[in-house]
Structure 1
Amino acid sequence: MVTVEKVTYPKIPLDAGQVQGWKDIPISFEPLVPLGPLSREAGFLMTSSIYFGEHSNSPYAHDTNKLEGSLLTLFARRSVARRLLVAEQLLPACHHLLIFDAYRPYQVQESLHDFYKQKLREKYPAMDNETLECETQKYVSLPSKDPARPSPHTTGGSVDLAIVKLDRTHEEELLQIRSRLTDVTLTIARRVGLEMRLSAIMRSHARMLDFGTAFDHGGEKSALAYYELKIAAGEVLTDADRLACNNRRLLFGIMTQAGFQPYFAEWWHFNAPESQMGAATAGLGYATLGSVGLDESNIAHENTRLKIRQEARRLQREGGQAVVRTALQYEILSALRETGDPGLVEGWPAEIIAPPEE
C-alpha cells in the first residue's frame, strides 16, 4: 500500500454525494413558446396558421383540405422566437414579418408529405417511387420518428414566413395598440380585444410583398436563388422579376442577419442553426434540436386560443342577438362590431402544397 506522509488533505464532508431529490432537478431543455396572440415572449409577431386554416387566404380553411392535428397557435423554440423578434426589428419602417408555420406535429408533417406525394403521383404516373420520394422531399420533409433524424418542422427549429407592408396611417394605429399591449396590468379579456383590433389592421391593410410566387408554391420558381441564377446566366429580368428578386433579398438578408439559415428550395423557409438542416447549411458538425412535443403550458395556451376563437365565431353568428355575460365576451363582441370577420384576409397569397401547373 502506498502512503503519503506529512501531507494533510481536506476532510471529506459527511454529506458528500447525497442525491436525495435528484430526479426533481430540471434538465436543460429549450422549450417551445407560442408566437403571436397571448404570447408573453413573442406577442408582437403576426401569425397566420396556414395549415390550421386560420384565415380565409389559407387553402386549408376549406373542409375538404383540413389537416388533422394542425394547431391554431404557432409554436417555436425559444431561441427561434427571439431571432424572429430580432429579424422584425431589422425590417424597414412599416414592414412586418408574417409567419405562416413553425413547429409542426408529426401528424401534420405526415399529412403534408403524403398529400404532396400523391399529387405528384397523379401528375406523373410513370415516375418511380424513389424519384417520387426525392421530388416530394424538396418541398415536404419525410415524416420521421427517428430521434436521430427528425423532420425540420417537428423540432420547432424551422419557420415559414413572408414580409408584409402597411401604409403609414395604419402603421401608426398598429404601434399605438402595441404600446397599449405592453401594459402588464391588462386583463386577458382586454388583451384579447386589443389583439383582435391589431389583427384586423394587419388582415385588412398589410399587403404581402411580391416574392414571385405565392407561399407554398410547389415548383422551381420557389427556389431561393431562382432569380439570382437568371441574373448569373446573363438574363435581363422584367420589372416584376426584379421586384420579386429584391424582396427575396430583403427577407434573406434580415433572416440570416438574425441568425437563421436559408433553404435552397423555398424562399420562405428558414432554419435555426441548432437544427440538423440549419447545422448542415451553416457547416456545423452537430445539432442540438431534436423532435419535440407540446408541454402542458403549450397545450393550455392552444386550448385558450381555441376557446376564444370558438366564442368569437359564436358571437359573430348570433350578431345582433348575441348576449354577453362575461368581460371576455364583451371585448370580443366589441372588437367584432368594430372590425368585422376575424378570419377575412386580403393580400396574403398562399397555395395548397402541390406540383405546379405546367
Structure 2
Amino acid sequence: MTQIRDWRHVPIDDNREPLVTPAHERIVCQPAYARQGIEGALQHIYVREETADRLYTAASLLPEGYRLLIWDGFRPDHVQRGLYEAFEASILSKNPELTGPALREKVTTYVSYPSEDLSAPAPHATGGAVDLTILDENGRELPMGTAFDDFSELARTDAFHDKPGDVQESRKLLLAVMEAAGFSNYIEEWWHFDYGNQWWALRTGQEAAVYGKAAVPEEVQ
C-alpha cells in the first residue's frame, strides 16, 4: 500500500451502516451543543451502528460503576459550519494578523472545515467520530485537565504525560479503553476518537475508510 500522509487522500468504501443512538447502561448521552443552544444542534447523539457496538465494548472495560459520557457524535453540515465560523471569529479576535492558509490551519487544528466534498467529509459528518469522557461511580466527570472544547495546548492527549496524578491517569484510562475497542484518538483533543472514517483509517493503517458521509437523521430532515 502506498504511504498516505493526508487523510483526505484515503479512499472510502462506505458500508452504509445506519446511524443509531447509543443505548447501554454504562453510557450516558448529553448532546453538548444542543445544551449550549447552538442553532440546529441535534437533540440526540447519533453514531454508526458498529461505532455504537465498539462504544459498548469500551464502556464494559471501565472499572465497576464507571460510565462513558458522550457529548457529540454525528454532526450535520450546518452545525459544523456554525462551529467553524464561531471558532474562526474567536481566533481572529485574538490574532487579527492571521489570514489565508495560516488562519485556516489554526482553525482546523480543532474544528474541521465544513467540507461538501464527499471524498473528504469532516470526521463528525461520517458518524464515526465521537467526543466523550468518563464518569466515576458517583456520576462525576473524571479530572481531564481541561473542559470539553478547550482549544489549548493542554487539550493535547499527551499534555500531562510528564505530570503524574489524577489527570494523567484519567486520560490514560480513556485512551486505553477506547483503543482496546478499536478507536483511534486525535492527539490534539483528548476527548475525540474515531472509528471507520478517514482519520481512523490513516492512523490505524487501513487501506480504506468504511464510513463516508452519513445520511442525515430524520430529526433534521
TM-score when scaled to structure 1? 0.56
Query: Partners of 1:155 and 1:28 in 2: how far apart?
Result: 11
1:216 corresponds in structure 2 to 149
2:167 corresponds in structure 1 to 244
* Structure 1 residue 293 displacement after superposition: 2.1
Query: Partners of 1:119 and 1:129 in 2: how far apart?
Result: 15
1:290 to 209, 212, 220: 212
Unaligned runs of 5+ in 2: 1-13
> How many residues were matched structurally?
208
Letter in structure 1 aligned against 2:40: G
1:34 counterpart = 2:21: yes
Letter in structure 2 aligned against 1:29: R
1:117 to 75, 88, 102: 88
* Structure 1 residue 34 displacement after superposition: 1.4
2:108 to 133, 137, 150: 137
2:29 to 38, 47, 59: 47
Q: Deviations over 1:10-42 (max 9, x none)?
A: xxxxxxxxxxxxxxxxx9621001124xxxxx4
Task: Indicate the RMSD between aligned Cα atoms, in angstroms.
Answer: 1.8
Tell me if the contact between 2:26 and 2:59 (Cα under 8 Å) persists in the aligned partners. no
1:102 corresponds in structure 2 to 73
What SS does structure 1 have at the residue aligned with 2:165? Answer: helix
Query: Partners of 1:263 and 1:106 in 2: how far apart?
Result: 20
Letter in structure 2 aligned against 1:271: D
2:40 to 62, 65, 69: 69
What SS does structure 2 have at the residue aligned with 1:142? Answer: coil
Letter in structure 1 aligned against 2:21: P
Unaligned runs of 5+ in 1: 1-26, 37-41, 54-59, 61-65, 168-205, 232-236, 304-358
Tell me if the contact between 2:15 and 2:210 (Cα under 8 Å) persists in the aligned partners. no
TM-score when scaled to structure 2? 0.89
2:51 to 59, 70, 80: 80
Tell me if the contact between 1:95 and 1:163 (Cα under 8 Å) persists in the aligned partners. yes
* Structure 1 residue 128 displacement after superposition: 2.3
Tell me if the contact between 1:105 and 1:293 (Cα under 8 Å) persists in the aligned partners. no
Larger fraction in helix: 1
Letter in structure 1 aligned against 2:149: D
1:261 corresponds in structure 2 to 184
Query: Partners of 1:218 and 1:128 in 2: how far apart?
Result: 19
